Amino acid sequence: MINKVVSGAEEAIKDIQDGSVLMLGGFGLCGIPENCITALVKKGVKELTCISNNAGVDDFGIGLMLQQRQVKKMISSYVGENAEFERQLLSGELEVELIPQGTLATRCMAAGYGMPAIFTPAGVGTEVAEGKEVRNFNGKDYLMEYAFDADFAIVKAWKGDTAGNLIYRSTSRNFNPVMAMAGKITIAEVEELVEAGALDPDQIHTPGVFVHRVFQGADYEKRIEQRTVRTRG
């Protein structure tokens, strides 16, 4: 079995250069690659284009990279909850492309499935459609949206094995599997790294062929953005 293991986040991201296009998994702060984000902040690479559903919060997730002015452009569906983001956007320091969430996911999927473009009804008749090709199928209009072209996809899984096979846990799956398939180089950080053979092949979400580097992350904070509970009784 091909061994995909690297020593840690720093080695995993070592060839990410200024100006790279990155995909980062996660929804809100759920299922984000915490270790790689920390390593990217430490490395200080700049002028990054980040494709990620959200932009973190001020002091966690992609927000940490925004604070260091490492991001040139965000491609996201929802970017609330982040004051530094708002400041950079309004001052013109940061470029933002907002796209519908399903379009974001499906443009990742298309890249991972080897398809150059998709047709989606999301955004037809809105400003999202400006400049895009519209095709009518069976009486309904669809926008043509291109597959993403990312240099690196950085994802977080629950368990991984040395062959790069990945299993996600609960709703931290979100964008991670489709992004894992979509990067030219895919980096996976996992909470628990096991030997090839220790995971049930029937339970694998991302086959190792899509993963180039895997490592066991450390010190996961797994911050909760909106802690909502009910009282007993």
Partners of 117 in the β-ladder: 146
Given a contact cutoff of 8 angstroms between Cβ atoms, the answer to whether 188 and 214 are in contact is yes
198, 221 Cβ separation under 8 angstroms: no
Based on CB atoms, which residue is closest to another protein, 201 or 227? 227
Side-chain half-sphere CA neighbours of 47 within 13 A? 5
Shortest distance, position 172 Cβ to another protein, whole Å:
4
Query: For another protein, which is the closer residue by CB, 13 or 143?
Result: 143
Provide, rounded to whole angstroms, the least separation between the CB of residue 199 and another protein. 17
Residues that bind another protein (CB under 8 A): 27-31, 53, 76-80, 86, 89-90, 98, 100-106, 108-109, 120-128, 158, 169-178, 205, 222-232
Q: Which is nearer to another protein, 3 or 171 (CB)?
A: 171
Task: Find the shortest distance in angstroms from Cβ 230 to another protein.
Answer: 5
- C-alpha–C-alpha distance, residues 41 and 44, integer Å: 5
b (16+ CB within 10 A) / e for 83-113: ebbeebbeeeebeeeebbeebbbbbbbbbbe
**Nearest to another protein of 49, 106 (CB atom):** 106
Instruction: Name the minimum Å distance from CB 215 to another protein.
Output: 19
Nearer to another protein, 99 or 196 (CB): 99
Give the DSSP H or E segment for 144.
Answer: strand 140-146
CB of 43 to another protein, least distance (A): 26
